[in-house]
Structure 1
């Protein structure tokens, strides 16, 4: 049973050393037992500084991950089925027509044959889910029975019939009717990120609102599709913004949370920003796990670019899912390298449980 935290903002959290480590382990045990972190506590955790203290935070978050989710790491792969010339002005994205990146290709909807072929290759590489990602604000602004949407539905069905992998989609904003059509075609999970906290969002995008994104997530949930909904760390947001985002995701009860680490792209409004410090990324991941103990926390874009040789530490700080293979406009590392990393950490690539599904006796 999930319990409301009785911890108050007036209760202090030790800032370092053994007292901090003991507090974190005690609080982790309480969260595993069903309590939930308050926003005041989460904000207090952001004050933790220094490698040793951040590693203590990560260790406690990893205990929560292991107890609430097990040792199976959810593996997925994506394909950019339609790229570039996007109407939206997302500051982080090189596919926007407002600021096209030099490394962003432009092409229309890929053929069903090519998409299915990539799905089969992803399955062979160990991915359990395969996401069809398209540029644009979303299907909501197309005809309900547009030819493109019908082709995507047919492609989803062919993947189900011919490839040993579950198809997901990320097609932008959806109406409830469109979400229901995807559900009927066999889509069980849909990616639609909030990207940032509501207060910070206008700094990132102005062509649509944060509430527009929330509406699509609610439509997905109403249609019985799992929401794969997260955001991006490193866009200039504050720790308050990061905490607000995590609590919004908890309130929406999303099943999977992609944590993207900004990999600044040349030519975009955020292209001048420095890459996130890996320790800051680990701290963010660990705090997200404290706030979202049962959710699938997914290493997504920027994992290799930001974390480098330290990316294995994320898998010991609360992460229990990875996007393997290439990203939308940037390259990822070979899937074999990811599989070797999991083996070194005694983790298993597969399909992680959604909130409420994991039973400790199933631990491997």
Structure 2
């Protein structure tokens, strides 16, 4: 049988087809001595099928904390009394300022996020007011992440001008009940179907390192590929105090690079965006390693409840690597 990287080169790099489950699993088992070779191949795939452009996104939490769901990784759940995160809500002026800062940081996309099961009318009204104000002052694409949607809510968001909607599947369907009990995986999948049906781009990813097996990581990647996302944000577990996963280990650098390559080989033509936890799992030069190992987008600055790298450091790095920024 041909070597795993030779098979990936033939199937994914040359033909542009996703690798099968057995090959994806073998990628996750590849030895440390071949990590550089693996990442180089993932980068070749990214360059051939996505180009060299890097897309930068800024995110802001419109409503932080106080969520009624029990997602085990999330410090914003109101059910975890020991979590230090408390409910906060921003006003429209603050959202506009955040969008302006994101644009200054090179972002072409600005995502409005709320910690809720799904939006109520008050929240949708506030998002609509924010979009009007942002579009008046900032040249940037607006996306949203407001939880589980109804058909009517999805249609309204599209009418507001939301271009891309984020709703993470989070993990493999087989592992999801160990992470969340207050809603099920199929509810999330149904929201993504509504997003597509209403003409918005799908953004859906998840978190590596929540106790899933390597087989479940492959399952997760293939389930994401099946919903045909425009963008897949990849997070690495940053264990949050007060949550059920607070004492879980941080994914190692090698584990993280294997996961990045595996996702690239599962979705050769998709935007793979660095999200939370990259600084912990990959170290200070980890963003560079990831962007030369299959990733092609980043979130600049801080995340929702955790600190990220300074946007200036990421922009300097992209300039050094001669990777051009996407522009509007």
In the alignment, what sits opposite 1:272?
247
* Cα displacement (A) at 1:45: 2.0
1:313 to 289, 305, 314: 289
**Alignment of 1:116 onto 2:96:** yes
After TM superposition, list the pairs within 5 Å mapping 1:1-364 onto structure 2: 12=1, 14=3, 21-30=5-14, 33-50=15-32, 52-100=33-81, 102-108=83-89, 110-139=90-119, 142=120, 146-311=121-286, 312-350=288-326
* Cα displacement (A) at 1:23: 4.4
In 1, Cα distance between equivalents of 2:304 and 2:2: 41
Asked if structure 2 preserves the Cα contact closer than 8 Å seen for 1:85 and 1:100, the reply is: no
CA shift in 2, pair 1:183/1:168, >3 Å = same
In 2, Cα distance between equivalents of 1:21 and 1:178: 44
Asked if structure 1 preserves the Cα contact closer than 8 Å seen for 2:17 and 2:268, the reply is: no
In the alignment, what sits opposite 1:8?
none
In 2, Cα distance between equivalents of 1:101 and 1:112: 30
In 1, Cα distance between equivalents of 2:225 and 2:218: 11
* Cα displacement (A) at 1:170: 0.5
* Cα displacement (A) at 1:161: 2.0
TM-score w.r.t. length of structure 1: 0.86
CA RMSD of aligned residues (A): 1.6
In 1, Cα distance between equivalents of 2:9 and 2:266: 15
Give the length in aligned residue pairs: 327
Could you tell me which runs of 5 or more consecutive residues in structure 1 were left unpaired when the two chains were aligned: 1-11, 15-19, 353-364
* Cα displacement (A) at 1:36: 2.8
The SS at the match of 1:348 is coil
The SS at the match of 1:350 is coil
The SS at the match of 1:179 is helix
Could you tell me which runs of 5 or more consecutive residues in structure 2 were left unpaired when the two chains were aligned: none
Q: What do residues 36-93 of structure 1 show as CA deviations (whole Å, max 9, x unaligned)?
A: 311122122222121x312211111111100011111110011111111110000000
The SS at the match of 2:54 is strand
* Cα displacement (A) at 1:273: 0.8
Asked if structure 1 preserves the Cα contact closer than 8 Å seen for 2:240 and 2:246, the reply is: yes
Asked if structure 2 preserves the Cα contact closer than 8 Å seen for 1:189 and 1:226, the reply is: yes
Query: Higher Cα Rg: structure 1 or 2?
Result: 1
In 2, Cα distance between equivalents of 1:243 and 1:318: 16
* Cα displacement (A) at 1:25: 3.4
In 2, Cα distance between equivalents of 1:330 and 1:231: 16
Asked if structure 2 preserves the Cα contact closer than 8 Å seen for 1:183 and 1:223, the reply is: yes
In 2, Cα distance between equivalents of 1:129 and 1:84: 23
In 2, Cα distance between equivalents of 1:75 and 1:291: 22
Asked if structure 1 preserves the Cα contact closer than 8 Å seen for 2:62 and 2:95, the reply is: yes
In 2, Cα distance between equivalents of 1:277 and 1:253: 28
* Cα displacement (A) at 1:24: 4.2
In the alignment, what sits opposite 1:3?
none
The SS at the match of 2:110 is strand
In 2, Cα distance between equivalents of 1:21 and 1:198: 28
